[in-house]
Amino acid sequence: MNDLDKIYEKYGKGICLFPFIGSFYRTVDTQVIGDNKQIPNSIQPCSLARWDGQENPWEIEPGTTIADARNSDHYKYVRQKFLAGEWNDLPGCFTCQEAEKFSQSSPRINNNQFFAENIEENIIDLMDEIIENNYESHKLKSMEYFPSNYCNYECTMCRGGASSKRLTFEKIHKGVQRNIVTNQVDSDFYELLGKLEILGFTGGETIMQKQVYDLVNYLVEQDLAKNISITVLTNASQYPENLVDKFKHFKKVMYTVSIDGTGDVIEYQRRGADWQNVQEVSKRIYNTPHIHEFINYVVTAINVLNAMDWIDWMHDNDFKWFSISPVVRADQLSLKVLPDDIRKIALDRLHQGRKKYEHYVEGVDEFNYVRGIDQILTNLSEAEFDPDELKKFVKFIEIENRVSKKPLHEVVPEWAPYF
C-alpha cells in the first residue's frame, strides 16, 4: 500500500493523481442530428474534467493513440498546474473545487485515497518518472471506461450523454436535437489493458452494456484478470448474475451503487427505479463474498428532506461504506434553490436525526453516519439561497412531473406551496 501522507508531503495537499497515472476513456459522445461529423474517442484526466465553451482538448485525433493523447500539450499543462499547486486555476476541475469549498471531501480526495490503497507500484516513483520525463506519463495504472450511454433510468440530474433513456426524454420534452455516437476502441486499447492495475466500468448502466461483458470475458480468457481490480458503477436495478463467477478471477471487485433516497424519493430522483427492487439488489450485492460494495448519495433539492430516512436505512441494513456528494452539472437541483422555510425543515431533521448517532465515538463504525450527516449539514449551510435558481428549479420540475409516477409536491409535500 502507498502512503498517501508521504505523497501529499512531497507533491502538496492539492495534488490529484488522476492526470498522472489514471484516465477516463470514452468511446461514446453526442452529435447534433443531421451533423455527420465523425467524433473521435477521448481520454480525459478524469470523468469530471470539463472545458465547456472550448474545443475538446481530450479528443484522440485520427492517426494517434490513447498513449499519444495522454501526453498532449494540454495534458502536460494540467500536470504542471497540479505540481505547482495551482489546480484552482483549472476551469475543468470546477466540480472538485466546489466540493472542497463546502466539505472536507471531493472526488479528487477520494480518488487519491483509492489509488494509494489499490495501486501496488510505488506512486512516488511513478510521479518522479513523469516529472523527469518532461511531464509525460507512460504507465497508465488506472482507466475508467465509458463504452456507451445505454441505461434503463432517466435520472433527474443526468444528461442524455450518460443515459439513453434520458436522451429520449430530452428529445421529447426539451427539444434536444442530438444523437449518440458509439465508436470502436482505439488501436492501443488492449495493449494498455495488460498494464493496468485498476479498470473502472461506467456508463450508462454498466451491467446492461455488451462491451462490459465482452471485456470481462477477454480479461479472464487472457489471464489478465488476476492482476486487475475492477470498479463497477451501477444503479442497483439488476444483480450481475452472468458476471458473478467471472468476477472471482479478478484481484478485487468494487461496486459503487447509486442510492440517494428511499421510497418515492429515489423513484422520483432516479426515474425508472423501483425502491423494493433497489433494496433487494443492493443487499444481495452486499452479501456476495467477493464483491465490495460502496453506496453513493447525490445531495439535491429533491432528496435533502429525505436524507435522514436514507441514513437510517443505511444504518439498519449495516451499509457502512458510503460517500455523499453535492449534485454537479445540474445547478437547477442544487441546495441553492432551497427557500428559508424548506431549508429550516431540512436542517431541523438532520440535527434531530444526528442525536441518534452522536453517542458513538470516532473509530466505531456508526461514527461514519455522523460524518455523513455533518457533510449534508455543511452543504446546506454553505449553499446560499438564490431566488433565480429556485425559479429554474420550479420550471425544471414542472417538466419532470409530466412523466414521473407522482409529482414532486406529492413525493415531498413541503414543496407543495411552490407548485
Let me know if residue 176 belongs to a domain: yes
| Pair (345, 405) in one structural domain | yes
CB atoms within 10 A of CB 138: 12
| Pair (223, 355) in one structural domain | no
pLDDT digit string (tens) for 294-317? 999 999 999 999 999 999 999 999
Let me know if residue 333 belongs to a domain: yes
Let me know if residue 57 belongs to a domain: yes
Let me know if residue 52 belongs to a domain: yes
| Pair (82, 186) in one structural domain | yes
| Pair (177, 247) in one structural domain | yes
Domain of residue 384, residue span:
297-419
| Pair (252, 328) in one structural domain | no
Let me know if residue 79 belongs to a domain: yes
Instruction: Look at the chain and report how many structural domains it folds into.
Output: 2
Residue 54 is predicted with a pLDDT of 61
| Pair (412, 304) in one structural domain | yes
Let me know if residue 271 belongs to a domain: no
Let me know if residue 290 belongs to a domain: no
**Where a domain ends, among 258, 287, 307?**
258
Nearest Cα neighbor of 137 from 69, 203, 183 is 69
- DSSP letter for each residue of 216-233: HHHHHHTT-GGG-EEEEE
CA contacts within 13 A on the Cβ side of 80:
11
pTM for this predicted structure: 0.93
Residue 260 is predicted with a pLDDT of 96
**Where a domain ends, among 242, 258, 274?**
258
Residue 48 is predicted with a pLDDT of 85
| Pair (250, 308) in one structural domain | no
In whole angstroms, give the CA distance from residue 127 to residue 122. Answer: 9
**Where a domain ends, among 201, 235, 258?**
258
| Pair (221, 304) in one structural domain | no
| Pair (230, 365) in one structural domain | no
| Pair (173, 82) in one structural domain | yes
| Pair (171, 302) in one structural domain | no
Where the chain has pLDDT below 50, the residues are none
The gap between the terminal CA atoms of the chain, to the nearest Å, is: 53
Residue 342 is predicted with a pLDDT of 97
| Pair (31, 82) in one structural domain | yes
